[in-house]
Amino acid sequence: MLVRIVQTPDRLDSGLFLPQGAKQAQDQALLAEVIEVARAMPKHIRYGDDEDKDEAIDAPLGTNVSGVPLGSKVLFRKDHGVTVPWDETLRVVDVRHILAIVDEIAAEDIQ
């Protein structure tokens, strides 16, 4: 699955500024948003009439087979996943490396 790392704030509640390197050194896991998942190819898709051609016919995306909902927030160890070369906030992470799916709850909703 493809995830985008959620950046943590640079300041603590106490007002102390933490540089990026200091934050990352303390973190054991990263929080990220799932922006793409593994999908099954729809059964009604054909690829051209000739076996030698690889022309795809326009079709909707297949069913999510990863087990992780698209758009959810996940937690994974910071040493897992492959960084995408053109954007350091993107990682390709194997589903087996997901530690948790995170639901954010507003402070006023906590009892």
Q: What tens digit of pLDDT does each residue of 39-55 get?
A: 877 655 555 555 555 45
Domain count, the chain: 1
53: amino acid identity, one letter: K
Q: How many helices (H) and strands (E) does the chain have?
A: 1, 6
Which range marks the domain in which residue 40 is found?
2-8+18-104
Q: CA 43 to CA 90: how far, in whole Å?
A: 30
In a domain, 41, yes or no: yes
- What pTM does this model have? 0.66
In degrees and rounded to multiples of 5, residue 10 shows phi and psi of: -80, -15
The stretch 48-67 carries a mean pLDDT of 62
In a domain, 42, yes or no: yes
In a domain, 13, yes or no: no
The stretch 52-66 carries a mean pLDDT of 63
In degrees and rounded to multiples of 5, residue 36 shows phi and psi of: -160, 150
Distances in Å between the alpha carbon of 59 and those of 6, 38, 42, 46, 72? Answer: 31, 16, 8, 10, 25
Q: CA 104 to CA 74: how far, in whole Å?
A: 11
